[in-house]
Amino acid sequence: MIPYSLLDLSPIPEGASAADALRNSLDLARHAEAWGYNRYWLAEHHNMAGIASAATSVLIGYIAGGTSRIRVGSGGIMLPNHAPLVIAEQFGTLATLYPGRIDLGLGRAPGTDMNTARALRRSLENSDNFPQDVMELLFYLGPEGNDGPVRAIPGAGTEVPVWMLGSSTFGAQLAAHLGLPYAFASHFAPDSLEEALEIYRRTFKPSQWGTKPYFMLAINVFAADTDEEGHFLRTSMQQAFFKNRTGRAGPLPRPVKDLASVIDPAYMPHVDAALSVTAVGSPDSVRRDLKALIDRYTPDEVILTGQIHDHAARLHSFEIAAEVMSEGGLQRSAAE
């Protein structure tokens, strides 16, 4: 059995509030811990009416404080929005409060629109400094003996595990160069997945942070008792993706039986392509889809996600996925 983890955007469903979304995230995390999930990651997004995880570090502390064993981290922190020292202090504090349980995944995108990026008081040009910012952050979190005029306190000596996230070959190249574990955003941007994975594994340089490549594949899961129900639940995320890409983002829509009535059929091929790394349907169908993806990409770990409007249905979906993943038979089938 390969490790399986969970990515939560803390979605705000239509008819609910951000407070509801945050309470739902804690409830899901507690269940995920009981179901054997390895990590529970939250993602930084800003100015999005359907996502409540903007203050990602704060939410990580809330989730870690409400659970006892599961690793909790970011999938990810958008580093161009922040000074590396601030992130080192935040995650150093989290690691001090919850030792051995905190992960720091880093992304290069702003996670928002240009106006909001400016409101965050960070220049849009900061993405050009991303490799240097990553190195600075690694230094702050490194051994306490590191010399320098500025230290992260807490932070120094915590050596919080840092992951590189990406949806293009840039992150793959940087992760390989620094010897960091790598997670690909295949759940919404799979176009460069195969190329990025090949680059990462072929060019990986062992480092103090990793002796060999470690790749995590992101997969959408919409599991239910029947295929029909699973596909019905999936329509919420399909609508949300369409609305976001056409400038009409909002709370997570309710599922619909007739998707063509709310999404222009001419746009559906784009939605299907973007969300193609997905397991959907009954337990048997989800098992088949997960096996096909794991056999194809041979990840060291998978991180499952899926925006589902009804919280009880979301819980049931991730419970089914955990049961499927824990059955065995989904091992990596290719050479390292």
**Angstrom distance (rounded) from CA 50 to CA 307:** 10
Q: Going by DSSP bridges, is the β-strand pair 301-305/39-42 parallel, antiparallel, or unpaired?
A: unpaired
Going from N- to C-terminal start, the domains of the chain cover 4-326
Q: What is the predicted pLDDT for the residue at 123?
A: 60
Instruction: Please state, for a pLDDT cut of 90, what percent of the chain lies above it.
Output: 86
Q: At 301, is the secondary structure helix, strand, or coil?
A: strand
Q: What is the predicted pLDDT for the residue at 1?
A: 86
**Whether the Cβ atoms of residue 282 and residue 225 lie closer than 8 Å to each other:** yes
**Angstrom distance (rounded) from CA 141 to CA 222:** 37
pLDDT digits (tens, 9 = 90+) for 191-217: 999 999 999 999 999 999 999 999 999
- The H-assigned helical ranges of the chain are 18-34, 56-65, 84-97, 114-119, 130-141, 169-178, 193-203, 227-245, 268-274, 283-297, 311-326
Contacts with 113 (C-beta within 8 Å, 6 or more apart), sequence order: 47
What dotted CATH number matches 4-326? 3.20.20.30
Q: What is the predicted pLDDT for the residue at 336?
A: 41
pLDDT digits (tens, 9 = 90+) for 130-149: 999 999 999 999 987 677 88
pLDDT, average across residues 153-174: 96
Contacts with 85 (C-beta within 8 Å, 6 or more apart), sequence order: 136, 140, 150, 152
pLDDT digits (tens, 9 = 90+) for 285-326: 999 999 999 999 999 999 999 999 999 999 999 999 999 999
pLDDT bin (cut points 50, 70, 90) of residue 224 is very high
pLDDT, average across residues 26-48: 97
**Whether the Cβ atoms of residue 220 and residue 231 lie closer than 8 Å to each other:** no
Average pLDDT, the chain: 93
Residue 335 has pLDDT above 50, yes or no: no
Q: What is the predicted pLDDT for the residue at 31?
A: 98
- Residue 186 is classified by DSSP as T
**Whether the Cβ atoms of residue 219 and residue 277 lie closer than 8 Å to each other:** yes
Residue 334 has pLDDT above 60, yes or no: no
Give CA 189 to chain center in angstroms. 12
Q: What is the predicted pLDDT for the residue at 162?
A: 98
